[in-house]
Amino acid sequence: MSELRDRFPTGPEHGRALLLPGRAFGPSKPLLGAVEDVLLARGWAVRQVRWEVPDGLDGLRATAWVTEQTRMAATGWSDRPLLVGKSLGTRAASFARKERLDAIWLTPLLRDRRVVRAIRRSRARQLLVGGTADGLAWDGAVARSLGAEVLELPDADHGLAVRGDRQRTSAYRDRLREAVDAWLV
């Protein structure tokens, strides 16, 4: 079950985006929040997706569940939304590939062959963002091999934070905002 929250830019609308959370990183957390701020400033309407992840969800079931949640969130919002997914939300990569949707993937699950295959086969624009200290999801060599734009942050973990270094973590949030802003052009 998903909860949806729509936000609109103050000026003319340029496009519409869906923000797909991770398991523990919802749309109000710093990473998706930083991307949302950039999107709204650039004229994008944003639909935040908040979901309750079923217990024991993994593998193919996780991909099917995320795809269905994404499809339902897009219905009535936009035929061609920009997808912004964090971790678990990057399991929507197969949906993005089939629909030829542009996407921004934050800490994509590059250790899952289904996610990697979907990103590799996509013909749409994609931005991949991850950190070298993220042993859960990120693989820099794989990211660079996929034909997408890549922002790799040294020593950043799965939350794109540097443990014990608030200054670098804050600087990385700024780099994320700059990368998204440049990618949207």
Q: What is the pLDDT along the chain (185 residues), one digit of tens a residue?
A: 579 999 999 999 999 999 999 987 667 678 999 999 999 999 999 999 999 888 888 878 899 999 999 999 999 999 899 999 999 999 999 999 999 999 999 999 999 999 999 999 999 999 999 999 999 999 999 999 999 999 999 999 999 999 999 999 999 999 999 999 999 98
For residue 22, count other CB atoms closer than 10 A to its CB.
Answer: 23
CA distances from 69 to 36, 50, 173 (A): 19, 10, 27
Would you say 49 and 73 are in contact if contact means Cβ atoms under 8 Å apart?
yes
Would you say 50 and 26 are in contact if contact means Cβ atoms under 8 Å apart?
yes
pTM above 0.75, yes or no: yes
Q: What is the pLDDT at residue 25?
A: 65
Q: What is the pLDDT at residue 177?
A: 98
Query: Rounded distance, CA 84 to CA 94, Å?
Result: 13
Element of type H or E holding 183: helix 166-184
Query: Rounded distance, CA 177 to CA 92, Å?
Result: 22
Residue 164, amino acid = G
CA 46 remoteness from chain centre: 13
Q: What is the pLDDT at residue 60?
A: 82
